[in-house]
Amino acid sequence: MEEQKNLYKNETKFTKENLQTFSKFIWLKYNKFRYLEIIIFSCLFFVFGIIGAISQSVKYHKIPNTFTLIFVLIFAVVIIKMIKLAKGNVKINSQANDITYKYEFTENYLLISTELASQKFLYTDLSNIKNICNTEKYIYIMINNRQGFIVDKRGFENYNDQDFTNYLKDKFNDKYINFLDETKKKLYSIKDIIFCVILFMMFCTMVLSFLN
């Protein structure tokens, strides 16, 4: 009776939507990837490279040198890469769309299974789980910094958010991370803004020195 009382079941279908959300979470929250600083830095230097290329063409009446073109190309690629990460850099094939993961959270273990295989994680040995991340719509069972399982909260039976949160805290202890309050926090900190201002000032200084 005790195990049945503490049993939570979930089914989550493998979809492009939740994979994109997972990808965003990994890069922008879990790994705290400095997306804002990098894309602003790249955009500024991309513009600087364009200005340099135009200046060379006008002043010397010839195609910009190889260094300038490589400079522009590198930062253009970085910008495209950052935009993909922000959208959720996920590629899935048509066969993977139909995979459904089943989760059983019991008193002593977590069982994850599909039609082809299953994996059991004993609560007495959580060495194969890095973190359990609780977000507003999903729970992510992280295996490492970039891989994990997606648990859609809509797939639970008889789900109570507070009860299940307490269950996760009890079973996973210090591996549990709460991201439920992330949406209430400011998207960017004061440090982020200061860093971007410094980058912008550096960019302006470089442009002015180049034009003079």
Q: Block means of pLDDT (10 residues each) for the chain, length 212 residues?
A: 63 86 83 67 71 69 67 74 62 60 93 91 93 94 89 88 92 92 56 66 61 52
63 and 127, same domain (yes or no): no
Residue range of the domain that includes 117: 2-16+25-29+94-184
101 and 168, same domain (yes or no): yes
pLDDT of residue 4: 44
pLDDT of residue 75: 73
117 and 171, same domain (yes or no): yes
pLDDT of residue 180: 83
81 and 106, same domain (yes or no): no
Q: Is the dihedral of CA 84, 88, 94, 96 positive or negative?
A: positive
Residue that the structure tokens 């309050």 belong to: 181
pLDDT of residue 169: 94
46 and 124, same domain (yes or no): no
80 and 169, same domain (yes or no): no
pLDDT of residue 82: 66
Total structural domains within the chain = 2
